Homo-oligomer: A and B are copies of this chain.
Amino acid sequence: MSLKEKLAELNEKGCTLTIQRHAVLEYLYENRTHPTVEEIYYSLKEKFSTISKATVYNTLELLNNYGLIQEITIEKGKLHFDYEVKPHHHFFCHRCNHVYDVDVVECPLAGKKMIDGHKIEELRPYIIGTCSKCL
């Protein structure tokens, strides 16, 4: 889904399109490395010196609630974010702390709405290990 489409969807749903929100979403669009909040905040601060950490947190939560971005809890104690919301596996290297996409795998839960009586809203298939660069 393109950046324009996501911005349009936000707008349609009645959400104010502030310059900060545009900047956060655009940053995620351009940086597909699954950045942390810190990375997003300091990168945006370079071009946009008055942006505050609270706004970055608020915006990421808002975009996540609208289903336009994805929160990743693969690394203990800190959040990563992903522009891509289509479910896919993530690989975390505990040596270099990078998060990689793993596109290949087909998940047997894909499309399922319920499991054990619980309502499925999001799949987060994570894999931990040592990445190809670190091996």
Contacts and interface: CB of A to CB of B under 8 A. Distances in A.
Contacts of A109: 89, 105, 127
Contacts of A115: 91, 102, 104-105, 127
Contacts of A129: 118-122
> Copies of this chain, how many?
2
Contacts of A135: 117-119
Contacts of A71: 76
A119 B124 contact: no
Nearest to A128: B122
7 contacts: A73-B126, A77-B77, A102-B115, A105-B108, A105-B109, A120-B129, A123-B128
